[in-house]
Structure 1
Amino acid sequence: MSSPSSPTRGRPPRLDRARTVQTALDLLDQSGLDALTMRRLADAMNVQAGALYRYFATKQDLLTAMAERMMDGVADAAAEARGGDWGEKLAALARAMRTALLAHRDGARVFAGTHATGANTLGFADTVVGVMRAAGFPDDDAARALHTMANFTVGHTLEEQAALQPRDQGPADPGLLADAVTAGTYPHLKASLPTLTSTDFTRLFEFGLDLLIEGLKARH
């Protein structure tokens, strides 16, 4: 048994990159991106803030690593898609990406500000481009389809997560939009108000995803 004066007693767990990223994701889920600082992360890991810079030169480097972790396994969605149709595979990949971002508070905000080049992110991108090339799309269109699908998915999820924030942190109450439309002369908005103020984000996402895939099919 170690004596009370043993230098190992009370020593925090060894700092490593994987544990640092996981702790950062845990803090993200607890308090959101705005509250995630290197100092707060260091406190949660019981280390000095300077120790984190051994793995991450800047907070942006940390966010990039977090984005990469969030994409773990997302590329597998193509192989798990029902049927072999390229449209179904592309839809499955987009849905899996949205699910991965929604799994963490402010996940889309983290991902949108990074340019990860790890195996998870590049593997996902390579899978999307591969699906499109196998379907007969030329290389440039396959790459543009990747950009379009990823931008749509991230943009939608950004808005979705913003709308789901607590009212004192998120955007204005949808009721304010309804009041403004009803009080003004906006007949077209008034007719579609139930949809405009709906919180059925999955239905909205699927509508946009369907438009994207049908557009690609028309171009094919």
Structure 2
Amino acid sequence: MSSPSTPPSADPARPPARGRPPRLDQTRTVEAALVLLDESGLDALTMRRLADAVGVQAGALYRHFATKQDLLTALAERMLAGCSAPPADPDWSGRLTALARRMRTALLAHRDGARVYAGTHSTGANTLGFAETLIGVLSEAGFGPREAARTALTVVHYTVGHTLEEQAALQPGDQGPADPEQLREAVTAAGLPHLTAALPVLTSADFTAQFEFGLGLLVQGLRALHRAGSGPAA
């Protein structure tokens, strides 16, 4: 019978857990990496800093992430959580643009999100689910598998590329923000009439308008091909 001072589950012969390193959990580690990313940016996200944040030795991280690229792939996968649900828009082009907007929003939600995502090749449920939904929208609209895949890649590349430029311009660091007045002075001094006329757009910080314009061009081209019944391969 246990004494009142000893819990029934306690084992007096077992050494106390105090001082033991915490068990490394992959999900918790990815969440901690996202916090560090948002605080300091991608360049400052090192395996050593992440290990300190989760309270383990740096070498312990390599049981889950053999390289930093593996960590970035896990972060990219986490960023796309919630992006794969089929949009409710009845029109295929509306569903396509909704998915592109979702991806941009997901990448913008984290500092250097587009830089993290670029070049990763996750095979996780979030990434594959998003790709399945995107290609599915195009397939259901009548595009063949090859054309649907190429179109999906085009949409993703446009979204990631635009968001890379957007985050580079808006976030603090060595690359930005850009000085619109410097561009204006250089164009005026060079006497370039076409660039001078375009300056209101070139110096604008309305990145949503820029993104929507480019996305609209993609969709218009796809609609034209769809109406012609030729598909992108033709």
| Aligned-residue identity in percent | 69
The runs of 5 or more residues in structure 2 that have no matched partner are: 1-5, 227-234
Aligned counterpart for 2:161 among listed residues 155, 164, 167: 155
Contact between 1:32 and 1:106, CA under 8 Å: does it hold in 2? yes
Cα–Cα, structure 1 residues 65 and 183, in superposed 2: closer, same or farther, change >3 Å? same
Give the residue type in structure 2 aligned to 1:106. Answer: D
Matches of 1:169 and 1:27, distance apart in 2: 20
CA distance, structure 1, for counterparts of residue 41 and residue 214 of structure 2: 27
Q: Which amino acid aligns with 2:25?
A: D
User: Aligned AA for 1:214?
Assistant: Q
Q: Which residue in the other structure is 2:33 paired with?
A: 24
CA distance in 1 between partners of 2:30 and 2:108 (Å): 17
Task: State the match for 1:213 in structure 2.
Answer: 219
Task: Choose which of 118, 121, 135 in structure 1 pairs with 2:124.
Answer: 118
Contact 2:22 2:56 in 1 (8 A): no
The equivalent residue for 1:60 is 69
Q: Name 1:88's counterpart in structure 2.
A: 94
Quick check: 173-182 or 44-53, which moved more?
A: 173-182
Corresponding position of 2:140: 134
Runs of 4+ deviating beyond 3 Å: 10-13
Match for residue 185 of structure 1 among 184, 188, 191: 191
User: Deviation of residue 177 (structure 1)?
Assistant: 0.9
The answer to whether the aligner puts 1:144 opposite 2:153 as a matched pair is: no
Write the deviation string for residues 8-54 of structure 1: whole angstroms up to 9, x where unpaired: 22545421100011000110000000000000100111110000001
Distance 1:167 1:124 in 2: 31
Q: Secondary structure of the equivalent of 1:192?
A: helix
Q: Match for residue 69 of structure 1?
A: 78
- CA offsets, 1:52-100, max 9 Å, x none? 0010000000000000000111112x33x4x310000000000000000
**What is residue 56 of structure 2 aligned with on the other side?**
47
Residue 175 of structure 1 aligns with an amino acid whose one-letter code is E
Distance 1:101 1:145 in 2: 20
Kept in 1, the 8 Å contact 2:47–2:68? The answer is: yes
C-alpha separation in 2, matches of 1:84 and 1:183: 51
8 Å contact kept, 1:12–1:46: yes
Structure 1 stretch displaced more, 194-203 or 174-183: 174-183
Q: Partners in 1 of 2:150 and 2:51 — Cα distance?
A: 40
Deviation at 1:7, TM superposition (A): 3.4
- For residues 143 and 46 of structure 2, the distance between their equivalents in structure 1, rounded to whole angstroms, comes to 43
Where do 1:94-109 residues align within 5 Å? 94-109=100-115
Residue 168 of structure 1: how far off its partner (Å): 5.0
> What is the distance in 2 between the residues matched to 1:217 and 1:51?
51
**Equivalent residues of 1:25, 1:66 under 8 A apart:** yes
Alignment: residue pair count? 216
